[in-house]
């Protein structure tokens, strides 16, 4: 066991593992990365972790260490003070558990910024992970997750419970195919309401024509009988005596299935000049 305070630096967390080998059961040491720090207090072989004056949970410790690793490389300094009197209250962490966490750190940089999770053993992982596994996952989302950490993913992959995979070309274009499929579904839904769906679309087209036709009428310009717009049945919409007419499904004028939109009379108050 060390008898005097020791200060130094580590460049990676594998050096941290070697550091743990020299620590006794009752010791306090501090890791500092930039402006952030974590204090580890060991008492009777169990660790309590503290940051900003408050105990850290095991999850928060994993989350903080994950962010340290993924930020640009900074030198981590440590200070070791042997023979502490008493550690503050907080969640306890065994030396074995701490070593497992530190060992998982070396795999974090191998996780892509965007990746897929393949479940290999769904009995050994939390249920929420199955939801994440349905879609591509962004590393930043896991960093902010309140259910599990990137270090947990590393550990589960190491234990053979999951597999982390890179996003391939097919994964990238899958959303495009999904959008095209959705458009086909919408089109099919409209067609399924035939003739009602096409009738509604035809009415919309006729209403869009109404303003331009009325403008010609007000200005006493000639309105062509066959207008340059087709209805939903691919018929040319027609104009006759103040009425817009679609031949309807049978494509014949003057039958029962004609679709008619009557335009306002020119003497209507709608056309009054204020």
Torsion angles phi and psi, residue 77, rounded to 5: -100, 155
Instruction: Indicate if the pLDDT at residue 239 is higher than 90.
Output: yes
pLDDT at 274: 43
pLDDT at 131: 79
CA distances from 226 to 157, 231, 233, 242 (A): 69, 12, 15, 13
Structural domain boundaries in the chain: 6-105, 108-167, 196-271
Q: Quote helix, strand, coil % in the chain, to nearest 5.
A: 40, 25, 35
Instruction: Indicate if the pLDDT at residue 231 is higher than 70.
Output: yes
Instruction: Indicate if the pLDDT at residue 195 is higher than 60.
Output: no
Q: Which residues contact 64 (CB under 8 A, 6 or more apart)?
A: 36, 38, 51, 56
Instruction: Indicate if the pLDDT at residue 3 is higher than 70.
Output: no
Burial 220-251 (b: 16+ CB within 10 A, else e): eeebeeebeeebbbebebbbeeeebbbbbbee
Instruction: Indicate if the pLDDT at residue 184 is higher than 80.
Output: no
Instruction: Indicate if the pLDDT at residue 175 is higher than 60.
Output: no
Mean pLDDT for the stretch of residues 150-156: 86
3 state SS of 273: coil
Mean pLDDT for the stretch of residues 81-93: 77
Confidence of residue 246 (pLDDT cuts 50, 70, 90): very high
Q: Which value, to the nearest 10 degrees, does the dihedral of the CA atoms of residues 227, 232, 234, 239 take?
A: -20
3 state SS of 197: helix
């Amino acid at each position: 066991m060390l008898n005097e305070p020791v200060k130094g630096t580590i460049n990676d967390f594998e050096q941290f593992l070697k550091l743990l080998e020299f620590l006794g059961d009752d010791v306090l040491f501090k890791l500092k990365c930039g402006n952030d720090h974590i204090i580890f207090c060991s008492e009777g072989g169990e660790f309590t972790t503290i940051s900003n004056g408050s105990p850290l949970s095991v999850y928060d410790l994993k989350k903080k260490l994950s962010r340290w690793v993924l930020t640009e490389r900074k030198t981590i300094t440590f200070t070791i003070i042997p023979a502490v009197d008493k550690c503050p209250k907080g969640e306890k962490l065994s030396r074995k558990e701490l070593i497992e966490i530190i060992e998982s750190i070396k795999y974090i940089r191998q996780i892509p910024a965007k990746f897929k999770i393949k479940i290999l053993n769904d009995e050994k992982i939390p249920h929420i992970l199955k939801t994440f596994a349905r879609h591509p996952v962004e590393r930043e989302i896991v960093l902010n997750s309140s259910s599990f950490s990137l270090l947990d993913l590393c550990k589960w992959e190491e234990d053979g419970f999951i597999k982390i995979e890179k996003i391939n070309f097919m994964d990238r274009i899958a959303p495009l195919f999904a959008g095209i499929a959705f458009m086909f579904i919408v089109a099919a839904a409209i067609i399924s309401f035939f003739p009602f769906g096409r009738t509604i679309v035809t009415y919309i087209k006729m209403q869009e024509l109404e303003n331009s036709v009325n403008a010609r009428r007000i200005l006493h310009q000639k309105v062509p009988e066959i207008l340059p717009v087709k209805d939903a049945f691919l018929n040319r919409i027609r104009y006759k005596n103040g009425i817009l007419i679609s031949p309807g499904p049978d494509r014949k004028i003057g039958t029962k299935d004609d679709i008619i939109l009557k335009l306002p009379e020119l003497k209507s108050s709608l056309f009054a000049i204020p």
